[in-house]
């Protein structure tokens, strides 16, 4: 019965016969590499089958594991995010410590270079009013601080101490509207007074119209004011308006970045001009 | 009965192929087994054609020094195709039969030689001409054989009728 059925399906029979013949031929023929064709073809076909099965299983496995993993991924994500935040904070702390160490190293270098009696102080507060450019440092009269002491940093002049308390002191920054310092153009030795604008810039007043001043000149303290020791950097000349008056209008870009001040040095040694002034005041 | 006739026909063709070619010059190019396969396929259908073709081809392969199965595969295909032609078209006149034999020989030669060449086992110096001559020869012998076999039953019947009439 089955044989009769097959006989009525010659196409099926042909397929079987062809496959049988191919198998028989393959069993006898070797490939160019010397391996039997049957072995190569069988292995190739089986390998493809294995590849398909493996990819199917892998796909299902991936889908399943992906689904299962998704169930726990939210908690894991939250934990990882918290960990990342903690690490970011820690990184910032480390960076801050490194920056602080660098700042302190520069301060120490300045202290040694300046050969002045100084004390390091940390800025603990900024100005309470935007109209005034002052900061508060963490050292006061108990540390030997007095009014009109110069405050410097590795970059240059910061300002002067205007109000010492026992354990803290207020420092008027050089860029404050009421601040001023005796200044000198380093290159030409032209003198003047560096005053604050209250905006973050400085102006150098009383520079003679005949003085040799140009943009890029370094402005340093002259020391004649009795507060700031001589030779400390104030800034660089930004622009010079020679105009028609008696004096030049000189704009100075401060050397100190006041927005990122953290540590400063307070100069404890009185300047010679101050000593002279105090001696003159004494009866 | 049909199976026995088929087996006998193949055996006869093989015997003819292996003996006649040594005695009669020019018959070496003919493929008697192929002729028998085409004949059986045309008269019995594709299933019989491919089975007979396959078996005959395998036997022919086993008797030759070639790769077993190449001739079998070629004759399987030929048997199937000839059987199909026999069921789809009316192949009773000598010319269509001649053409079927021609086509069958061409298909057989193409598959047989093609497989050998593809497998890099053998080269054929002038395949087209040899196939062409074989096709013509097979077609001629096949058509004649067909006519003879068809004429034989009538001849026997007429002879019997004459004997009866004389008595």
| Per-residue pLDDT tens over the stretch A112-150 | 776 778 888 988 887 766 667 888 898 888 888 988 899
Number of domains comprising chain A: 2
Res. B21: pLDDT tops 70 = no
Task: Note whether residue A54 is domain-resident.
Answer: yes
**Residue A185: predicted pLDDT:** 92
- Within 8 A of A6 by CB-CB distance, chain B residues are 47
Give the closest-approach CA distance of B123 to chain A in angstroms.
Answer: 16
Whether A135 and A109 map to the same domain: the answer is: no
Asked whether residue A157 is domain-assigned, the answer is: yes
pLDDT tens digits for A176-199?
A: 888 899 999 988 889 999 998 777
Does some domain include residue A84? yes
Contact A29 B80 (CB under 8 A): no
Residue with tokens 């004011």: A225
- Cα-based angle A149, A106, A141 (whole degrees, multiple of 5): 25
In this predicted structure, the answer to whether residue A2 has a pLDDT above a threshold of 60 is: no
Cβ–Cβ gap B76/A32 under 8 Å: no
> What pLDDT is recorded for position A103?
77
B83 contact A CB<8A: yes
Whether the predicted interface score ipTM is above 0.90:
no
What is chain B's length? 167
- For residue A5, which residues of chain B lie inside 8 Å, CB to CB? none
Task: Among A172-181, B12-21, B146-155, name the one with the lowest average pLDDT.
Answer: B12-21
Do the beta carbons of residue A243 and residue A251 sit within 8 Å?
no
Q: Decide if B35 contacts B58 (C-beta within 8 A).
A: no
Residue in A6, A7, A24 closest to B68 by CB: A24
Report the CATH fold assignment for B2-166: Arp2/3 complex 21 kDa subunit ARPC3 (1.10.1760)
pLDDT reading at B129 higher than 70:
yes
A–B CB contacts, 8 A cutoff, strictly below:
56
Residue A280 has pLDDT above 90, yes or no: no
What distance in Å separates the CA atoms of residue B17 and residue A277, rounded to the nearest whole number?
141
* Among B85, B119, B120, the residue to mutate for chain A (most A Cβ within 10 A): B119
- Range(s) of the domain holding residue A105: 31-115
Tell me: the pLDDT tens digits for B52-100? Answer: 999 999 888 877 767 888 999 999 999 999 999 998 888 888 899 999 9
Helix (H, G, I), strand (E, B) or coil at A73: helix
Average pLDDT, chain B: 85
Closest CA–CA distance from residue A28 to any residue of chain B (Å)? 7
Nearest to A117 by CA among A278, A272, A265: A265
CB contacts under 8 A, A 19-58 vs B, are 20-25, 28-29, 32, 37
Q: Does position A1 have pLDDT exceeding 50, yes or no?
A: no
Q: Are residues A133 and A218 in the same domain?
A: yes
* pLDDT, position A31: 66
Q: What is the mean pLDDT of chain A?
A: 82
Q: B13: part of which helix (H) or strand (E)?
A: helix B2-23
Write the CB contacts of A14 (distance below 8 Å, at least 6 apart in sequence).
Answer: B46, B50, B76, B77, B80
Q: Is B121 on the interface with A (CB under 8 A)?
A: yes
């Amino acid at each position: 019965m089955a044989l009769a059925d097959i006989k009525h399906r010659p196409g099926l029979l042909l397929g079987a016969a062809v496959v049988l013949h191919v198998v028989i031929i393959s069993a006898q023929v070797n490939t160019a590499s010397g391996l039997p064709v049957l072995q190569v073809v069988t292995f190739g076909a089986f390998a493809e089958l294995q590849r398909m099965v493996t990819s199917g299983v892998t796909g299902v496995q991936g889908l399943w594991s992906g689904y299962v993993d998704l169930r726990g991924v939210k908690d894991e994500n939250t934990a990882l995010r918290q960990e990342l935040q903690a690490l970011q904070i820690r990184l910032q702390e480390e960076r801050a410590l490194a920056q602080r160490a660098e700042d302190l190293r520069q301060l120490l270098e300045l202290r040694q270079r300046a050969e002045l009696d100084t004390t390091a102080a940390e800025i603990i507060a900024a100005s309470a009013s935007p109209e005034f450019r002052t900061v508060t440092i963490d050292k006061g009269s108990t540390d030997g601080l007095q009014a009109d002491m110069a405050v410097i940093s590795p970059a240059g002049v910061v300002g002067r101490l205007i109000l010492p308390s026992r354990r803290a002191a207020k420092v008027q920054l050089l860029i404050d509207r009421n601040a001023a310092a005796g200044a000198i153009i380093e290159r030409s030795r032209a003198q003047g007074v560096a005053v604050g604008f209250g905006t973050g810039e400085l102006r150098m007043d009383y520079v003679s119209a005949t003085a040799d001043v140009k943009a890029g000149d370094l402005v340093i303290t002259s020391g004649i004011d009795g507060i700031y020791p001589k030779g400390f950097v104030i800034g660089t000349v930004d622009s010079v308006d020679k105009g028609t008056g008696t004096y030049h209008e000189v704009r100075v870009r401060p050397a100190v970045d006041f927005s990122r001040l953290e540590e400063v040095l307070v100069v404890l040694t009185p300047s010679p001009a101050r000593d002279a002034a105090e001696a003159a005041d004494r009866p | 009965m049909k199976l026995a006739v088929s087996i006998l026909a193949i055996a006869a063709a093989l015997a003819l192929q292996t003996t006649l070619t040594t005695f009669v010059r020019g018959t070496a190019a003919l493929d008697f087994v192929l002729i028998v396969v085409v004949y059986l396929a045309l008269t019995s259908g594709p299933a019989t054609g491919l089975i007979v073709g396959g078996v005959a081809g395998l036997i022919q392969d086993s008797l030759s020094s070639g790769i077993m199965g190449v001739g079998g595969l070629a004759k399987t295909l030929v048997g199937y195709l000839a059987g199909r032609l026999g069921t789809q078209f009316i192949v009773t006149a000598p010319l269509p039969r001649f053409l079927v034999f021609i086509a069958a020989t061409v298909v057989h030669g193409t598959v047989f030689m093609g497989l050998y060449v593809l497998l890099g086992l053998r080269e054929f110096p002038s395949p087209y001409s040899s196939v062409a001559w074989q096709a013509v020869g097979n077609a001629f012998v096949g058509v004649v054989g067909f006519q003879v076999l068809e004429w034989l039953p009538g001849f026997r019947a007429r002879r019997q009728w004459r004997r009866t009439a004389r008595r």
